Structure formats: structure tokens, C-alpha cells
């Protein structure tokens, strides 16, 4: 799978680990940065990773900031992105199977690298179930996204 991978300064070390992990697992990584400890703003790199997904350059996105929270908030503001903040494998798998998540957020200051790799593996291996109830609920989320856009001044 082609996976866009981004981080801010709070997540770049875990991102580097995950890039090697994903490559070893046979995936193609689109690295959108950042690759250094100098402080940057997580919305900028979240946008880059999200754009890679929306343009079709990548099928899924992963973003690592300090806690994963800021990246997840930012990603879910971008139409077409369904981001999940997961630090356990159950949520990472079910977030895709039930909720059609296409973007994973992780906290580089929260989770160890080995567990993060397991979470990423679960996220990447999962597929949306297409079950009628999950399609209905996902479509209601998409309707919320549309309503939000329509209400913009
Ligand atoms: C940066 O210090 C930090 O705020 C950021 O990495 C992230 O944790 C935000 O949620």
C-alpha cells in the first residue's frame, strides 16, 4: 500500500522508525516531512499528508505529532479525511473496518515504537467492511462534513 507519512517535531523520530518499518513490510512510503527536531506547526504537515491521500498519491495517511491530538483535530477539518487517534490495535483495526478511517494519528510522546508499529500494521491491514450499517453511519458522517461546509460564511 502507498502510505503518506508525516510528523512534527514531536513525532519525527517515531516517523523515521515507522518509515523503516513500513518499507520493510513491503509498503511504499510518501514521506512529507518533517525530518528534523526544529519546531514546526503540525497543521502544515497534516495538510501535506492529507493532500497526498486526497490526490491519490497515497491510499492512507499517518501523522505523528507529540500527542496525536493536534494532528487528528487538523486532519478531520479536511474534507475527505477520516482520521483516528489510536494507540491500541483494536481501535486501529476497527476504525477502518467500521468507520472507514483513512488517516491514522499517533503521539510520538505517548506510544513506544514497537506498539506503534503494531498499531500501524493493524491500521494498514484493515479494510472497510462495507456492511450496510457501517456504510449508513459513514455516509451520515459525510453528510455532517457537507453541512459544515455549507454553513461556512
Ligand atoms: C508540539 O509541541 C505539540 O503541541 C504537538 O506535537 C502535538 O502534541 C499537538 O497535539
Which CATH number does the domain housing residue 110 bear?
Answer: 3.40.1400.10
Whole-number pLDDT of residue 149: 84
**120 contacts 103 by C-beta, under 8 angstroms:** no
Whole-number pLDDT of residue 151: 83
pLDDT per residue of the chain (153 residues) written in tens, 0 to 9 = 999 999 999 999 999 999 999 999 999 999 999 999 999 999 999 999 999 999 999 999 999 999 999 999 999 999 999 999 999 999 999 999 999 999 999 999 999 999 999 999 999 999 999 999 999 999 999 999 999 888 876
Whole-number pLDDT of residue 153: 67
Ligand 1 site, residue 65, Cβ cutoff 6 A: yes
Structural domains of the chain, count: 1
**Cell numbers found for residue 92:** 486501529
Q: Hey, which of 7, 8, 13 would you mutate to test ligand 1's pocket, going by the most ligand atoms within 8 Å of its Cβ?
A: 8
Look up the domain containing 56 and give its range. Answer: 2-151
The residue nearest atom 4 of ligand 1, judged by CA position, is: 66
Amino acid at each position: 500500500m502507498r502510505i503518506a507519512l508525516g510528523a512534527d517535531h514531536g513525532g519525527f523520530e517515531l516517523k523515521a522508525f515507522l518509515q523503516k518499518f513500513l518499507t520493510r513490510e513491503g509498503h511504499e512510503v510518501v514521506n512529507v516531512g518533517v525530518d528534523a527536531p526544529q519546531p514546526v506547526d503540525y497543521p502544515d504537515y497534516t495538510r501535506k499528508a492529507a493532500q497526498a491521500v486526497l490526490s491519490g498519491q497515497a491510499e492512507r495517511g499517518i501523522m505523528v505529532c507529540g500527542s496525536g491530538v493536534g494532528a487528528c483535530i487538523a486532519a478531520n477539518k479536511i474534507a475527505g479525511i477520516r482520521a483516528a487517534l489510536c494507540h491500541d490495535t483494536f481501535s486501529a483495526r476497527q476504525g477502518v473496518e467500521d468507520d472507514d478511517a483513512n488517516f491514522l494519528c499517533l503521539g510520538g510522546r505517548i506510544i513506544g515504537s514497537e506498539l506503534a508499529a503494531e498499531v500501524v500494521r493493524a491500521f494498514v491491514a484493515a479494510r472497510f467492511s462495507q456492511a450496510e450499517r457501517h456504510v449508513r453511519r459513514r455516509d451520515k458522517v459525510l453528510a455532517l462534513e457537507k453541512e459544515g461546509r455549507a454553513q461556512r460564511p
